Structure 1
């Protein structure tokens, strides 16, 4: 859709503006808020009054005394629809935790900060990762102390917010209140490792008539290791050191004008362990090791220097009774790899053949990648109290520019100096560097127009309709729509439902990622090339250009609020996705079309991204909460449940693609899609407060999960598991609070498996809730 094709939508928006202006009356001056999923800005309403399911999680108590030190793990044990499991043995995915909603891909959830689109990471999750083939948003790049609340919209919202909002939307609302607070925390696993140190402070400073909130955070998390004694490998959490600073403020310029600002930066030094290489007597010498360097074998370490930046600058105003919001958002994510405790076996072997000891450098700059996103938004809205019983009309435009680049590593990280297919393998062991042929620098832009009308047709009936048209410079156009409504039978009972279409644009990372990586299959190393769209290999295979995924979403449910202290919500949903982008199965050198190309590259297998799968996800979300008096104190109880099942309904091989369906998507890869997370997840929480003391118990249930093995027809079955978190807080003074507790206090672990068939080569895999076991924590919180 070029500019001329957007003209009808633009004219419709102008007509809507003019028509509504004729009906306008002056808006109320009441303090107003907006909950994600609605453009309406009115006095705050309960989530039981929303047209679609929205969970609102206040971060204050969690920040002061919670057992988790980052946002992804906090939501993992709070929101049943949310899944984020720390990976081990998954290369770059060990360094950045992926997150998703409702068992779909991490790139099918849109993340906002203060209602503005947040950029995704540059990383593509690959081997060993749960969300393989996808990108996502790094939830842990924001400090917990900077967050006021997190709103989780559990419904498709592409017509309202654009690409990626298929599974739902997460909006992270940052603080901008006056006053200061600080927290210091320590945690570790019961095994004695994974020591986690946290120091964070927030200060909201009055500037003129506004407030600027400043948050600084330092986190140092140590490595954990669950490998058996004598095992060279390191199986557990990545070592992470974060330094983060965030600013968030709003500054009134006049009665109807205000300037707002958000700016954040995080530098992360992370290090994960790769697969071990054998020593003298193993098949790894001379192919992957040198007897002179590591006679007993070794573990390479994949180190990542990650830089994340984010800026929002905006101006809110009022024009002829309309609220306007003009904003510019910029975000970037960069990752640079350095591989240590390693070698280039071809260099060592050449040295040995030349009469040397067989020595190679032990560390290499392996290159890296970066992604940036600049988004300009202009939003207009107004509430008309006398139009159809009360209507909110909103419309706007968006322009977004994205860039993606890959930088090559130093030659020793990828080259083969002793001869192709001879002696030592090329590149740094653990993670071969990006090659000059991988280098890319790509960009694209998109434009969008949207309109949204929410009306109270009667005192009981509320309806919202939204439409959005977008055009991408690299693949074309998409128009999506949404219709939602609720009927309030009385003050206690509300029926609600929604139907929508959605889409997700192929990410630049999926379009242009290119690399050669060593994977382990049945514990045996295989070099695998990931070929980008439009490359010699993918063109030879007949892989078509990537296009957008398309979705249809249906939600129906009800809410019950018999009193101010008790609430219940239940929502059924169905999400159908067509032309879902997946990372293909592996083509090997025996393929008659691609075999010669692979042999020329010196690799054993190849993969690529392709639109080839249709899926259907059905599920149920249930929440219930109540507050009551118990003895001299008060008891808060909360239950949340998600049941979800994703099914691959069709595998369609493009007519130009010369590959068999079972190769395009093997049974093992199909299960990674269908069971990316547990099919059931529930949280039951109890909080009892009396005087200065507060105790908390949280029971988290993770349903079963099934994964494929490297052998056709064999499976890994993970039984349902239930863990418990316990915590206690003491308000020592009005300003000072101490907290301590434990997570997974009964040391529950996933079902033990055959280590030769798991992704990480260990009998405990990173599924459901991870493999580290029990941990303990202590916190001190001070407000001043």
Structure 2
């Protein structure tokens, strides 16, 4: 493990740095706040006082003058436990950036907005070097300017918040303060592409005794392309960032009413148009004619474009009150995510071949409506809490209930998007090249319900000892019940030193997307196209392989930590953790007629060569260390703020559970390549060392971001792709031109660092730079103007 080598460096820095002290100090100006991971309101938010590790990131600097224009990439450069790398050549995963904590799957992190559960996206990640087989939350559907702070709970919390909170919880707190501000930004890569335009405005208006914050944002990010036209193994590809246009509006408000009653509301909508380049198809003289191309249409080959129209909606309304001394919170939250595909600059080769056989030129339509999918979630919460100052030295008792309904649907594309016009297993391949449309057999419309009750008791037995116990029982209509529990505690050794630890059980329900997603698509293996069927749970292929119905994953989490705060300007946290997951749901390896003959008739009848499905097939263990530290001090005529944040983790597959019919086929169920996608979903180590110096109207910032080594599987059995550790640097300068106007310029990855070069025939995206660690685009530069009204 990398820990023995990096730990001495980290410990040597402890005297200089501490947890985000400056960030926590900003939160301390709030009258009372609730920090994720606790049901108790606190007079201040400090990451050195919490029972479990929580980082609090203010978004004001990032929104006003940061080098990243979206939330996922902002957190990627701030939080070492957080990983989000833009994918390329990964179909739908190119259009929505997935995000995860502690090297686990994106669906094992629960995302909240103002403490309320946020819906996941409808997309299941099937390709790419990250989060294969998982469904996560689209962090970029919220504008940065609308966000007050982001709280990252680095501990299992299923007993407190329910399913998905295995790796941790991210709580996004939105603004509602009065005042107006606006941001205009521009950025591009040093290669001259990926032009990024941003216009965003926030206005908080006073309504009676309450306030309503309104944020509108428009972002246009141009396509980047790092393809090497001189590399014969790659061909005429488009490899880089997806072209994206976002139009977003968010409202967030709270309105005090009579006595101790408050009405609050949050509403948001985003429309996204995104377009990514698929794998190229060869022209005349290649094996793609007539199977995947028509000589009459694209004699020199072509790059199909996968265009997605994404609609994300969110609404939450609630009523806070006090009844007989108890604080109550009744809320209703609704969220939905819909994605529809249109494939352009393409053809259906079977239609073109049929036209050619009939005496025509060999033509096909060049664009197709390929269908899509949608997911919605409605959650009703009733939460009750009360602080008893005299009970056991001060106790907070909380309990509540939750009801949730989820729906998932798949919509078929137009006939030509999936049609095999010239006959099965003959001539041209069926469907639109780049992304075949969803077929009528894929269409589904499923729903489920869940009910939960919970109780939480946090008590300060002595001025030094605080203990929190939580228990939660949850029932799902489609697989049954689960009960989880958590015990956390902290002990104040001295005024400066706090010991803390937690043990909990958790679970994650199989998502509706994992249960019912169905598709036939084209994958490229060592540069060669292969037709693949992803079969939904309970359909003919999984049944023939003896795969049982999906059930919940179960976890056990352990955390042990130390916080040190020798002064108001310096603090340190160190936390060790272990996460054991049983019956983890993963996307299987690829089964073929050769490696599993019983499936040969089914595969042949579907006109595909490979198949995969979701299955509860493995146990994993994740061990790691989190270290955060920061210091603020006077230096010359200005002030220097320094922070260090480090995460080291290792995930290991500890067992493989093959259904009876697949006994002896464990190496196919979990191939060595798929195992590495799970065990090394992110770099083994990640660290951020930041310096900010302010003097008068000027502020300069430097961030050094270290990404540890990472190993991925190659297509050739037994071969691995070894990515060396890499370190990048971000630089920025801000000038407070007037009390209202702030101007910022800077660069990200200014030394143009890229991942270790590989054989493109072995990488997942078919290019010698894969989308691992920090991406493949290289250096970028930006300018921003922020104006406060």
- Scaled by the length of structure 1, the TM-score of the pair is 0.96
Deviations 1:597-628 (A, max 9, x none): 11000100110000000000000000000000
Report the counterpart of residue 447 of structure 2 in structure 1.
443
Conserved 8 A contact 1:544-1:656: no
Alpha-carbon distance between aligned partners in 1 of 2:80 and 2:541, rounded to the nearest angstrom: 41
> Shift of the alpha carbon at 1:62?
1.0
Off by >4 Å, runs of 4+ in structure 1 = 656-659
What SS does structure 1 have at the residue aligned with 2:660?
coil
Report the counterpart of residue 276 of structure 1 in structure 2.
280
Report the counterpart of residue 545 of structure 2 in structure 1.
541
> Shift of the alpha carbon at 1:539?
1.3
Alpha-carbon distance between aligned partners in 2 of 1:169 and 1:518, rounded to the nearest angstrom: 35
> Shift of the alpha carbon at 1:44?
1.4
Tell me whether 1:336 sits opposite 2:340 in the alignment. Answer: yes
Conserved 8 A contact 2:705-2:728: yes
What SS does structure 2 have at the residue aligned with 1:254?
coil
What SS does structure 2 have at the residue aligned with 1:48?
coil
Q: How much is the aligned-residue C-alpha RMSD, in angstroms?
A: 0.8
Report the counterpart of residue 530 of structure 1 in structure 2.
534
What SS does structure 1 have at the residue aligned with 2:257?
strand
What SS does structure 2 have at the residue aligned with 1:594?
helix
Tell me whether 1:261 sits opposite 2:265 in the alignment. Answer: yes
2:327 pairs with one of 313, 323, 330: 323
Report the counterpart of residue 462 of structure 2 in structure 1.
458
Alpha-carbon distance between aligned partners in 2 of 1:116 and 1:72, rounded to the nearest angstrom: 19
2:363 pairs with one of 356, 359, 363: 359
Deviations 1:472-524 (A, max 9, x none): 00001100000000000121000000000000000000000000010001110
What SS does structure 2 have at the residue aligned with 1:69?
coil
> Shift of the alpha carbon at 1:657?
4.3
Report the counterpart of residue 692 of structure 1 in structure 2.
697
Conserved 8 A contact 1:542-1:658: no
> Shift of the alpha carbon at 1:659?
6.5
What SS does structure 2 have at the residue aligned with 1:74?
helix
Report the counterpart of residue 731 of structure 1 in structure 2.
736
Gaps of 5+ in 2: 1-29
Tell me whether 1:106 sits opposite 2:106 in the alignment. Answer: yes
Tell me whether 1:769 sits opposite 2:774 in the alignment. Answer: yes
After TM superposition, the structure 1 = structure 2 runs for residues 467-506 of structure 1, keeping only pairs within 5 Å, are 467-506=471-510
Deviations 1:324-369 (A, max 9, x none): 0000000000000000000000000011111111000000000000
What SS does structure 2 have at the residue aligned with 1:284?
coil
After TM superposition, the structure 1 = structure 2 runs for residues 86-165 of structure 1, keeping only pairs within 5 Å, are 86-165=86-165
Conserved 8 A contact 2:129-2:772: no
Q: Which has the higher contact order (CA 8 A, sep 6+)?
A: 2
Gaps of 5+ in 1: 1-29
After TM superposition, the structure 1 = structure 2 runs for residues 35-114 of structure 1, keeping only pairs within 5 Å, are 35-114=35-114
Alpha-carbon distance between aligned partners in 1 of 2:697 and 2:389, rounded to the nearest angstrom: 45
- Scaled by the length of structure 2, the TM-score of the pair is 0.95
> Shift of the alpha carbon at 1:42?
2.7
Conserved 8 A contact 1:585-1:669: yes
Alpha-carbon distance between aligned partners in 1 of 2:128 and 2:299, rounded to the nearest angstrom: 28
Report the counterpart of residue 212 of structure 1 in structure 2.
212
Report the counterpart of residue 755 of structure 2 in structure 1.
750
Tell me whether 1:181 sits opposite 2:181 in the alignment. Answer: yes
> Shift of the alpha carbon at 1:540?
1.6
Report the counterpart of residue 661 of structure 1 in structure 2.
666
Conserved 8 A contact 2:203-2:215: yes
Tell me whether 1:554 sits opposite 2:554 in the alignment. Answer: no
Report the counterpart of residue 412 of structure 1 in structure 2.
416
> Shift of the alpha carbon at 1:656?
4.7
Deviations 1:203-230 (A, max 9, x none): 0011111000000000000000000135
2:688 pairs with one of 675, 683, 686: 683
Conserved 8 A contact 1:115-1:171: yes
Alpha-carbon distance between aligned partners in 2 of 1:703 and 1:271, rounded to the nearest angstrom: 31
Alpha-carbon distance between aligned partners in 2 of 1:659 and 1:208, rounded to the nearest angstrom: 70
> Shift of the alpha carbon at 1:127?
2.0
Moved more, 555-564 or 584-593: 584-593
After TM superposition, the structure 1 = structure 2 runs for residues 242-253 of structure 1, keeping only pairs within 5 Å, are 242-253=246-257
What SS does structure 1 have at the residue aligned with 2:391?
coil
